[in-house]
Structure 1
């Protein structure tokens, strides 16, 4: 990865926001707790322009924008969104709909790859480049619409860390309200081969299939988080309960909503109940 300074990235991000090529704006954070499992709801009015389901149309202002390849449903509103090519297989780019300053998206150069496909070794190689080169960024993957994705071009995202509830996983907390699998790579993301991460991931994916009753030919909804030398995999049963939805970051306590009513839905339904239904209720091994 070509070295790009954080100041350069931020300057580009701010300029693209000012020109409307990136959607980002002020937000409010409401902190909560689910029986010892921390939650943070970020109310981002700018997200009203974001499509929240596969196939949903973008804001009309993007209709004439170039797409990110012939098979892509991602939009390239400005060539400066491209930051670098990683591993020769992925574009690292600034995310069009940002909740962080900045937020990244890591897209396959093969724009016909799809979001319901499991991660492969090239995905992990590119993700490792991203988290190792960019300061305080964690990677997430939402495998299929049931796991919270809204675009089908295969991609991961890079967000400002830490995930709100990350410590619950590293400490083996009994307060996590859904089933998950976690592994610490003791050699660190700076040294571990992508093939080693893939091997652990495939073991977790097989456990997820069994838990969800999926065979290898079926789509297996799940989330992946990579942060501070840990990989966390969360089996998913659905994307939303009523209008309470979550992607990988949301399952780790960082929920994004466009307006306060989104928080109210979570509170009305009960955060623990929502998380259990989005994932699978936690069970003792």
Structure 2
């Protein structure tokens, strides 16, 4: 069974058993600068926010959902150091997480072993997709435990970094192919060329054709969170007002406002964690 087929079977079982909490949305496709942008608008966000607040009030300590992870979300063991699980709070399906078995800090540099696991995952999935990594809270990370994420390649055109990367500001773009050693060397080159320093957040996106790194100065534009997926043209809005604000201001302009280094140390997470 292909890993993707197994993930779909695990998703069905976990959903029926109540182990998943999908975020209900409706999608709009909006064209700006001849680029198709997708914005997913949440339904019932206030109710979900209230439920999360109640859960946080009862929590005594901040919980790491990856140590241990929920067995019902387990998809596959990738290697001795990494495991693939479902995202417990998916906006789309399938949405997979590649997590380290032991704690590795999300803000620390990726290792060759991380890229080896990423290569293995993408090869086993048997479908085109995007692997992405939010390195630090200012890049959209909500968990301090190392986790990469994978989604299928969006059906809409979206932002193609080979065509549109220069519109957004500073970045590093390479085409090393899907080879772990080459990816790791490109990643190190990207950190060097972007003058990365500890405490600097960034987004990393990886397809079979390219590796793309974007430095980040802020997690959001006008309180609208932007993670790695914003850079392929996929946005999330908590309500219609946020969606309208993004549309009116411009998606490219919103991305430009969050790109670039912010040199202060990465702050400790102060919000209720979610995957």
Query: Shorter-chain TM-score: which interval?
Result: 0.7 to 0.9
Shift in alpha-carbon separation, 1:128–1:43, aligned structure 2, 3 A: same
The Cα RMSD (Å) is: 3.1
Aligned pair 1:60/2:55, yes or no?
Answer: yes
User: Residues 195 and 166 from structure 1, CA distance in 2 versus in 1: closer, same or farther, beyond 3 angstroms?
Assistant: farther
- The Cα shift of 1:246 comes to 0.8
Q: Does 1:241 align with 2:217?
A: no
**Aligned residue number for residue 54 of structure 1:** none
Hey, what does 1:184 align to over in structure 2?
175
After superposition, residues 155-234 of structure 1 pair within 5 angstroms as 155-162=147-154, 168-170=160-162, 172-173=163-164, 176-185=167-176, 188-189=177-178, 192=179, 194-209=180-195, 215=197, 218-234=198-214
Report the CA distance between 1:226 and its aligned residue.
Answer: 1.0
2:124 matched to 1:133? Answer: yes
**Any stretches of 5+ residues in structure 1 without a counterpart?**
52-56
User: Contact (CA 8 Å) 1:107, 1:154: kept in 2 or not?
Assistant: yes
Conserved in 2, the CA contact under 8 Å of 1:208 and 1:235?
yes
Counterparts of 2:171 and 2:108, CA distance in 1? 19
User: What are structure 2's unaligned runs of at least 5 residues?
Assistant: 262-275
TM-score using structure 2 length: 0.80
**How far has the Cα of 1:88 moved from its partner?**
1.5
Instruction: Give the distance between the partners of 1:5 and 1:195, measured in 2 at CA.
Output: 23
- Quote the Cα distance in structure 1 between the aligned partners of 2:100 and 2:192: 24
**Per-residue CA shift, 1:194-220, capped at 9, x if unaligned?**
1211111111112222xxxx53xx222
Paired residues of 2:159 and 2:231 also in contact (CA < 8 A): no
Tell me the TM-score normalized by structure 1: 0.78
Who is 1:72 aligned against?
A: 64
Alignment partner for residue 13 of structure 2, among 7, 12, 15?
Answer: 15
Q: Deviations over 1:257-277 (max 9, x none)?
A: 333233123234432321111
